[in-house]
Amino acid sequence: MCGYDWVAQFQHCYDKAVDQYRRGNRETILYLTPRECAFLASIGCTVQELYDFAEDYCTDGAPSFGDALRITSVRRYFFLTIQKGQASGRTIPLADLPAKDAAAYGIKWLPRIIAKARAKLRGELPPEIMYGCRGDRRFLQNLNIHPADFLRHVWSAGDDDQKIIAYIQQQAAGSSAATL
């Protein structure tokens, strides 16, 4: 179900969600058929995640389909290779996420986006939280890091926050626009 044509299937679902959102439909349960929902589950994506992409695209102009695809591709690969296609069955409590103004090494938002990225990889974000939201995009854009690239780096770093901090500091040093 999630083989060669998964990108075309994902684009169909994404386009449908954008269309539904633009029509005023805010009931995610009505967005997709059971077959489309099963497809999303087979790539480690939820209808809520798709809705969040569509909502932000319709209200903010981002993330584009290409950005949503890149983020979903990282999650899909983690889901299929690390989780062997099995959802963890866990959702992290909203209260477990660091506050938006929490800082690490003097960098606000960093503890939050690291926790969100780890939860996104495992498919454990609460439905109220989106990885790649406006705040995440602003933070990462300031560092000239694509959300999918950050997600891959968090995956690579595992539980080693120091590797993530070093990556952020390296990117900040190389980005003339960075103001942490």
Distance CA 121, CA 103 (A): 22
Q: What percent of the chain has pLDDT over 70?
A: 96
Find how far residue 62's CA is from the centre of its chain. Answer: 12
What does the longest C-alpha to C-alpha distance in the chain come to?
Answer: 47
Mean pLDDT, rounded, of the chain: 93
pTM of the model: 0.92
Q: With a cut of 60, say whether residue 1 has pLDDT above it.
A: no
Q: What is the per-residue pLDDT for 171?
A: 86
Distance CA 127, CA 130 (A): 7
Amino acid identity of residue 93, one-letter, is P
- The residue-averaged pLDDT of 151-173 equals 92
Q: What is the per-residue pLDDT for 3?
A: 79
Given a contact cutoff of 8 angstroms between Cβ atoms, the answer to whether 104 and 164 are in contact is: no
**Each residue's pLDDT tens digit, 27-60:** 877 789 999 999 999 999 999 999 999 999 999 9
Q: Which of 75, 74, 72, 2 is nearest to 38 (CA)?
A: 2
pLDDT class of 172 with cuts at 50, 70, 90: confident
CB-based contacts of 28: which residues, under 8 Å, 6+ apart? Answer: 47, 48, 50, 51
Q: What is the per-residue pLDDT for 2?
A: 61
Given a contact cutoff of 8 angstroms between Cβ atoms, the answer to whether 15 and 66 are in contact is: no
Q: What is the per-residue pLDDT for 173?
A: 80
Given a contact cutoff of 8 angstroms between Cβ atoms, the answer to whether 111 and 98 are in contact is: yes
Amino acid identity of residue 129, one-letter, is I
Distance CA 150, CA 171 (A): 11
pLDDT class of 176 with cuts at 50, 70, 90: low
**Each residue's pLDDT tens digit, 90-119:** 999 999 999 999 998 888 999 999 999 999
Range of lowest pLDDT (19-28, 124-133, 144-153):
19-28
Q: What is the per-residue pLDDT for 175?
A: 61
Domains of the chain, by residue range, sit at 1-87, 88-180
